[in-house]
Amino acid sequence: MINNMPAKARICIVCPGVYPLFREGVAASAGGAEAQLMTLGKALSQQAHEVHFIVDEFGQSDLEEIDGIMLHKVPLRYMGGSNIHLPVDWFRFTRKLASINADMHLMKVPRNILFPLAVYARIRGKKVAYVGQRDVDATQEGARSVDGVPAYYFYRWGLFLVNAVIAQTTSQQKCFSESFNRDAIVIPNVVTLPAEQVTEKSDYVLWVGNSSYRKQPEVFLEIVRALPGIKFRMIMAGSNERPDDAFVSDPAANLPNLEYLGFVPFQKIKDEYSNACLFVSTSKSEGFPNTFLQSWQCGTPVVSLYVDPDGVIDRHGLGVVTGSEQRMVETLRKLMDDANMRQKLAMNSIRYVQNHHSLEAIVAQYRSLFHQLGLAT
């Protein structure tokens, strides 16, 4: 008997920085966007989709297969280097896309590669969905201020050409419409840590992020300094803005209530979230932080200086948004003295993640999008 059922859509995920999450021991960090797409890619592969990733140069071979997923190396030398490499890098990138010949393409970051991806897909009759990451992705002013004018226009043209735009929050959805006249659908971020029983909590407050200015790690040091009776733990990866962590590690050495761990690989970070009794965010702006989801998944409430995506922290009782450093100090002091309140917030956090960000629910939403775009699922 001949099987006439169409093969499921072949999927290509463009995510240059994701390789360290697939290969433990690679001396490089990866962020929330990479963790999101790796988790999604693995889940789609387990549902019989053929999944490919395009990744940057990390000293690996040109093609590797890991857990049934194909990883294709395409060096993007212009990223963090000279723009003189851009034409050749983009040519190699589109040539690799053609060799993979995927039906569906997904990407989050970097914004500057969306344009060649979208042009390739239009020419070849393929599909592309762009997934917004930070709130600046959804506004003209934000994208222009971060990327500069030439890169902003490439990004804007790319947004015009893609088949679908995905927002993390309803506020991002509104901004895409108002700033770029693009209708976006909301698909929440997915939990990225293994599903395990929440452990008994330790007695420290956790901060996790990178060294970029918008994360404000220096502000966290001030919070630590103001609360000498509370134990803190800090995990920080480098960034292009500040690759050297001495501006944090040096003063941290003089804070007896702070344990500075520096960079911790993604594969080993779950225990830190599980053991912490509170998570602190000092960021100026975000999209929907992966660190928040990882904390809530582990029953760790969030105390955020400013960020509250779509108001979920206040609405669902997942922690506290303080609005000022002084109120953050006061809030941390009160919560550390109130185990019952921490337990209540922890239960709210676990329930919220299970109801809104489960892997099964989010993968189903992506597959529904593929079906709407005419692809076999």
- Tens digits of per-residue pLDDT, 79-107? 877 889 899 999 999 999 999 999 999 99
Alpha-carbon distance of 148 to 125, in angstroms, equals: 30
- 3-state DSSP percent of the chain in helix, strand and coil, to 5: 45, 15, 35
pLDDT of residue 144: 85
- Tens digits of per-residue pLDDT, 305-329? 999 999 999 999 999 999 999 999 9
Q: Does 365 lie in the same domain as 335?
A: no
Q: Does 277 lie in the same domain as 244?
A: yes
pTM for this structure?
0.88
- According to DSSP, the β-strands at 127-131 and 164-167 are parallel
Q: Does 127 lie in the same domain as 239?
A: no
Domain presence at residue 199: no
Q: Which two tokens stand for residue 222?
A: 């001030």
Domain presence at residue 198: no
Q: Does 95 lie in the same domain as 239?
A: no
Q: Does 211 lie in the same domain as 170?
A: no
* Strands of 319-321's sheet in order across: 258-262, 231-237, 204-210, 278-281, 302-304, 319-321
pLDDT of residue 196: 61
Q: pLDDT grade, residue 357 (50/70/90)?
A: very high
Whether pLDDT at 254 is above 90:
yes
Whether pLDDT at 373 is above 90:
yes
- Tens digits of per-residue pLDDT, 23-39? 887 767 778 889 999 99
The residue type at 202: S
User: Rounded to the nearest 5°, which phi and psi values hold at 90?
Assistant: -65, -35
Whether pLDDT at 3 is above 50:
no
Q: Does 364 lie in the same domain as 350?
A: no
Mean pLDDT within 15-27: 86
Mean pLDDT within 222-244: 94
Domain presence at residue 54: yes
Mean pLDDT within 252-274: 92
Domain presence at residue 1: no
Question: DSSP letter at 199?
Answer: P
CATH of the domain at 117: 3.40.50.2000
Domain presence at residue 4: no
Mean pLDDT within 162-186: 94
Cis peptide upstream of residue 110 (ω within 30 degrees of 0) = yes
Q: Does 122 lie in the same domain as 52?
A: yes
CB 332 within 8 A of CB 303: yes
- Tens digits of per-residue pLDDT, 325-349? 999 999 999 999 999 999 999 999 9
User: Rounded to the nearest 5°, which phi and psi values hold at 141?
Assistant: -60, -40
Whether pLDDT at 6 is above 60:
no
Q: What angle do CA 117, 123, 125 make, to 5 degrees?
A: 95
- Tens digits of per-residue pLDDT, 105-146? 999 988 889 999 999 999 999 999 999 988 888 888 888 887
Cα separation values, 60 from 38, 64, 65, 99, Å:
18, 8, 12, 19
Into how many domains does the chain fold? Answer: 2
Domain presence at residue 197: no
Q: Does 268 lie in the same domain as 224?
A: yes
Mean pLDDT within 238-257: 92
Q: Does 119 lie in the same domain as 182?
A: yes
Whether pLDDT at 195 is above 70:
no
Phi-psi region of 69 (alpha: psi -120 to 50; beta: other; left: phi over 0): beta
For the chain, the farthest-separated pair of C-alpha atoms sits apart, in whole angstroms, at 74
Domain presence at residue 82: yes
Q: What angle do CA 18, 304, 308 make, to 5 degrees?
A: 75
Q: Does 308 lie in the same domain as 178?
A: no
| Domain that residue 268 falls in | 204-356
Domain presence at residue 16: yes
Q: pLDDT grade, residue 4 (50/70/90)?
A: very low
Q: Does 326 lie in the same domain as 267?
A: yes
Whether pLDDT at 176 is above 60:
yes
pLDDT of residue 112: 87
Whether pLDDT at 172 is above 90:
yes
User: Rounded to the nearest 5°, which phi and psi values hold at 326?
Assistant: -65, -45
Whether pLDDT at 5 is above 50:
no
Q: Does 162 lie in the same domain as 127?
A: yes
Compute CA 201 distance to the chain's CA centroid, rounded to the nearest angstrom: 25
Other C-beta atoms closer than 10 Å to the C-beta of 190 total 23
Mean pLDDT of the chain: 92
User: Rounded to the nearest 5°, which phi and psi values hold at 70?
Assistant: -90, 125
